Amino acid sequence: MSTTVIKTSDLPESFLDVHPHNLYLYCKAYAAGLRANTAQAKNRSMVSGGGKKPWAQKGGGRARAGSLRSPVFVGGGVAFGPQNNRNYDQKVNKKQKKLALYHALAELAANERLFVVENVTIESGKTKDAKAFVDSLNQRDVLVVKELIDDKTFLAFRNLQNAYLVESNELNAYLAAAYHSVVIEKAVWDKLTKES
């Protein structure tokens, strides 16, 4: 497989005039979308017990109290604690998503970590062949972008720790920024640069 290193000079103009804040906003929204949203604490209405007024309203010299399940007492409910009905989603415009991806790819190209190959296919389906391909790039870890993933290539890349295989429609700015380098099939790259 012949590999071409994409440099900044090879990029379309639209890839270069992007403010990095677009990438920041996209990554922030992506990470927010991954949140489990399972944090929950019981408020005073959820805690069992506390039906009886603990002591008389007046005459004891203590502050008035209506329930031992008030947030003031140990064993009481939590005041303003987290409830798992919170929505962490953040809106990112379509145009912003595209600009974020362009900036992430431009950063890779500036550091000569963006590669274009004619075709990424491991016909044997063997992990050692996929590993040999990744090792030939001499990079720390690699995101491999294929137009359509076939079964054999999927099996070959599945167990590699330093490579992640995605289809072209799964490529996003977060993944491009998260990996040390990116390998893209020529058909996908042509489509990306044509759209810009």
Task: List the domain range (segments joined by +) for residue 98.
Answer: 3-35+89-195
d(CA 193, CA 185): 12
User: Residue 173 corresponds to which tokens in the numbers above?
Assistant: 């700015």
User: Residue 48 corresponds to which tokens in the numbers above?
Assistant: 């069992």
Q: Is 9 a residue whose pLDDT tops 90?
A: no
Q: Is 6 a residue whose pLDDT tops 90?
A: no
76 and 109 share one domain: no
Element of type H or E holding 173 = helix 173-178
Cα four-point dihedral sign 37, 39, 43, 46: positive
Average pLDDT over residues 17-29: 93
75 and 93 share one domain: no
Q: What confidence tens digit (pLDDT) does each residue in 121-177 have?
A: 888 989 999 999 999 988 999 999 999 999 999 999 999 999 999 999 999 999 999
106 close to 16: Cβ distance less than 8 angstroms: yes
133 and 83 share one domain: no
Question: At 158, is the secondary structure helix, strand, or coil?
Answer: helix
44 close to 61: Cβ distance less than 8 angstroms: no
109 and 190 share one domain: yes
Read off the pLDDT band of 1 (50, 70, 90).
low
30 and 117 share one domain: yes
189 and 96 share one domain: yes
Whose tokens are 């992640």? That residue is 164
For the chain, the domain total comes to 2
Q: Fill in the amino acid letter for 93.
A: N
Q: Is 2 a residue whose pLDDT tops 80?
A: no
Q: How far is CA 48 from CA 66, 79, 84, 92, in A?
A: 15, 15, 20, 42
d(CA 43, CA 83): 9
Partners of 114 in the β-ladder:
6, 182
**pTM to 2 decimals?**
0.79
